[in-house]
């Protein structure tokens, strides 16, 4: 049993230390609460820049027609939608997430855009219910931060990849531009909860967002975590001065 799974083990939920099981329940509460306002808040909080970050991941993923792609913690389906266009009728994209409310929003949005041939699977990233070696490409966008046992999630995604397949992790990270952290802190801890309160009537969830970003492993630490579960050629791409980073790694074993 890994340390993270031993009874009584605690972890962080934002800046609070909580029992492991409590984190799962609280994260579920956050996304149950924000699901209906999730997309509008994303555009507002990032002034639309999250679309550019996602575009970068899509380009770096280099998905080709006929490939099989899994979008883990895919929420309302931004990445899945574009991948489904790229894989074409011979390929497959699976949208998965642990949260039924987020997937419900995703299903509705995809249907609105005419994307109906895309399987949706409710699943925990820590124990994905797919056969070993099922996918050419797996993405997890702004999801890993919320997962309780991140090593388990990385192992589970590694296992679900075909040999030669790639994982792309899009996540908030640590600013690398001098002076940026101070402005970013003001924005995160003052403005984000205020926007959450005014637009989504939910200050606490957006305070959790800011805190969870600070508690997430930085670029080097996450790269090391990927390497220690077996990912090869792990590389980090900083976006917007490191506010966001994309990590890519490959499963290269035969
Ligand atoms: N990928 C989407 C995007 O970029 O817009 C949604 C990101 S949203 C910030 C984070 C998502 O992670 C939520 O939909 C949440 O339900 C999901 N999530 C949290 N913990 C998870 C877990 N253990 N397994 C799978 N999904 C999880």
Structure tokens at 29: 């509460």
From 99, 126, 160, 239, mutation site for ligand 1 pocket: most ligand atoms within 8 A of C-beta:
99
Cβ(124) to ligand 1 under 6 A?
yes
- Which helix (H) or strand (E) segment is 26 a member of? helix 20-34
Q: Tell me if 246 sits within 8 A of 168, measured CB to CB.
A: yes
Q: What is the pLDDT along the chain (254 residues), one digit of tens a residue?
A: 455 566 678 988 888 899 888 888 899 998 999 999 999 999 998 999 999 999 999 999 999 999 999 999 999 999 999 999 999 999 999 999 999 999 999 999 999 999 988 999 999 999 999 999 999 999 999 999 999 999 999 999 999 999 999 999 999 999 999 899 889 988 988 888 899 899 888 899 889 999 999 989 999 999 999 999 999 999 999 999 999 999 999 999 76
Predicted local distance difference test score (pLDDT) of residue 14: 87
Cβ(106) to ligand 1 under 6 A?
no
Predicted local distance difference test score (pLDDT) of residue 123: 97
d(CA 79, CA 55): 9
Q: Tell me if 173 sits within 8 A of 242, measured CB to CB.
A: yes
Per-domain boundaries in the chain: 52-175+218-250
How many CA atoms lie within 13 Å of 144's alpha carbon, on the beta-carbon side?
A: 32
Closest residue to atom 4 of ligand 1, CA basis: 141
Give the nearest ligand 1 atom to 99 CA. Answer: 16
Cβ(142) to ligand 1 under 6 A?
yes
d(CA 118, CA 42): 23
> Residue 241: CB partners within 8 Å, gap ≥ 6?
175, 176, 177, 180
Cβ(73) to ligand 1 under 6 A?
yes
Q: How far is the CA of 236 from the centre of ligand 1 (A)?
A: 21
Q: How far is the CA of 233 from the centre of ligand 1 (A)?
A: 25
Cβ(99) to ligand 1 under 6 A?
yes
Q: If DSSP codes are grouped into helix, strand and coil, which group holds residue 160?
A: helix
Structure tokens at 142: 């702004």
Fold for domain 52-175+218-250? Rossmann fold (3.40.50)
Closest residue to atom 10 of ligand 1, CA basis: 143
Give the nearest ligand 1 atom to 125 CA. Answer: 24
Q: How far is the CA of 171 from the centre of ligand 1 (A)?
A: 11
Predicted local distance difference test score (pLDDT) of residue 126: 97
């Amino acid at each position: 049993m890994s340390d993270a799974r031993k009874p009584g083990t605690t972890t962080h939920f934002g800046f609070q230390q909580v029992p492991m099981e409590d984190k799962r329940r609280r994260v579920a509460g956050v996304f149950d609460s924000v699901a209906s306002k999730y997309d509008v808040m994303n555009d507002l909080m990032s002034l639309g820049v999250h679309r550019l970050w996602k575009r970068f991941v899509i380009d770096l993923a280099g998905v080709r027609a006929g490939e099989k792609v899994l979008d883990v913690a895919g929420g309302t389906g931004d990445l899945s939608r574009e991948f489904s266009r790229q894989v074409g009728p011979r390929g497959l994209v699976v949208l998965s997430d642990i949260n039924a409310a987020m997937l419900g929003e995703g299903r509705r949005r995809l249907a609105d855009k005419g994307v109906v041939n895309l399987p949706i699977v409710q699943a925990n990233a820590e124990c994905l219910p797919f056969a070993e070696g099922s996918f050419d490409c797996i993405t997890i966008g702004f999801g890993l931060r919320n997962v309780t046992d991140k090593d388990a999630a990385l192992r589970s995604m590694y296992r679900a990849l075909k040999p030669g397949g790639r994982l792309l992790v899009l996540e908030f990270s640590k600013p690398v531009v001098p002076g940026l952290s101070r402005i970013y802190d003001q924005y995160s801890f003052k403005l984000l909860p205020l926007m959450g309160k005014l637009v989504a009537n939910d200050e606490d969830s957006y305070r959790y967002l800011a805190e969870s970003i600070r508690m997430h492993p930085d670029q080097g630490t996450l790269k090391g975590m990927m390497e220690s579960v077996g990912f090869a050629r792990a590389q980090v791409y900083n976006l917007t001065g490191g506010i966001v980073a994309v990590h890519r790694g490959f499963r290269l074993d035969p």
